[in-house]
Structure 1
Amino acid sequence: MPLAHFDGALAVVTGAGAGIGRATALALAERGATVIAADVDLAAAERTVTLAKTLGTGGAAHRVDVSDAAAMEAFAAEVREAHRVPDIVVNNAGIAVTGSFLDTGTAEWDRILGVNLWGVVHGSRLFGKQMAERVNALPNKPEKPNYGGHIVNIASAAAYAPSRALPAYCTTKAAVLMLSECMRAELAGSRIGVTAVCPGFTSTGIARNATFAGLDSAGAGALRKRGEKALRMRGYPPEKVAERIVQAIIKNKPLVPVNFEGHVLRALSRVSPASLRLLARVPAPQG
């Protein structure tokens, strides 16, 4: 069954309760995939599965904290036992921490590294191992499938665009991008595709749920409102990111910048990194 058709595929999506995760889960379900929706908010994951079922596919919801290694191991084992080895894994769960490097404490670093980086490591390692074992167990015959699965890691345009206002976020997303490149090289031998997706500003709840280091509650509240308004005004829906993810799986693309700023920042990172370093110095607006 070619992954390009998705019909009958099993897809695991983390952070599937809202935003890019939900949009991706529904885009895959619309094409015939059964979706395992994982989120720290179980009710939100269940809502995603309910919406997926209206599209004619099955699915299941799981409450999972992707930063918890033991919880992720149990989750991966449960998916394999209750269903089978997934064909597609989308490591989407992510959070934002904003604030200068000197204002960002170890608690904020632990939290964002846990979700944005360790979450991707756990999901990729556990499910990637299952995929590789499935391929290696197949006999070397002409009818042997020419794929082992596909892993999508949601990075960000911040992966290649430094910012004095988002050092922790940029660091985790840059790590996700490099991890994806390393994984792609290793897993190609097992015919497992790996894609890093790097969206620019997208209308999700990431600003609403962000942590603002170095600000009191009033300042954080004002900056949160400003961030939410900016994302609404940008008006780039998560459904468009989901469509790019679907196409990336079909075409087995290594890196997918998304939307105008995603492409511009990627181009600048390659042809004029000095320009990005200058842009990184621009102070963030204060509430």
Structure 2
Amino acid sequence: MGITNVLCQALKQHSQDLLNAMHLVSTTKSLIQKLRDDGWEPLLASVISFCEQHEIDIPDMNACYTKGRGRYHRQDENLTIEHHFRIGIFTVAINFQLQELRSRFCELTTELVILSSGLNPKDAFRLFKIVHICNLVKKYYPQDFTEHEQELLESPLQHYELDVIKHPDFQNMNAISELCRGLKISGKSKIYFLIDRLIRLVLTFPVSISTTERAFSPMKLLKTRLRNRMEDKLLADNMIVYIEKEIAGNFTIEMIMDDFYSMKNRRQA
């Protein structure tokens, strides 16, 4: 918890520095991995010291570990109490944390955020790098830009660096959304249309992530053990209604019944 606390506090901030947050993800993974590899002995020594200070009984760590309780317990001669605590509890708990971090912040997602931060106008475009933006397009948006556009992108970026980044109207912006709006108002979105397209694609990135995360939550509620034979189309239809419940709330049962009734009339005609 001490290792992950710094990352948690950074992610809770309303004004997030995504680049530094991704760096914290990397350092958190490294520190947790180091704890897994080298942290058992110091932890065990600390626990033993605590138990001795408070007169708490300490089990013999080299004794055989007993599985089960009551008359159903049995001893495993090849499994010691230390092995149970170290492998069965300590390592399992850390592996769960690492798996959670890797699933939520995979290497591709981390790289995507780092590369896209080059478009952020915060601090007078401090993170702007032409090579990062070109790599962002080639690696993550190849279907949105033709090969010819990818080859031409570097040239307008050089003009963009001397024009937009140095322009006084763009110096006090703090978000990519403000940059997108400023390019539109100034008319520069037509001149740097490739860059404007990339900015709009990057702006949809948080939406796509939140929609995906929202989809996994209702899936557990809709497709339960009793509904395990639910077909994909029915599951998808139910999930759309659940995820977009604010929109679905605008439709009453009477409106739906009337719609079905009108469909029936059209079929009879």
Q: TM-score with structure 2 length normalisation?
A: 0.24
Structure of higher RCO (CA pairs closer than 8 Å, 6+ residues apart): 1
Q: TM-score with structure 1 length normalisation?
A: 0.23
The structure that is strand-richer by fraction is 1
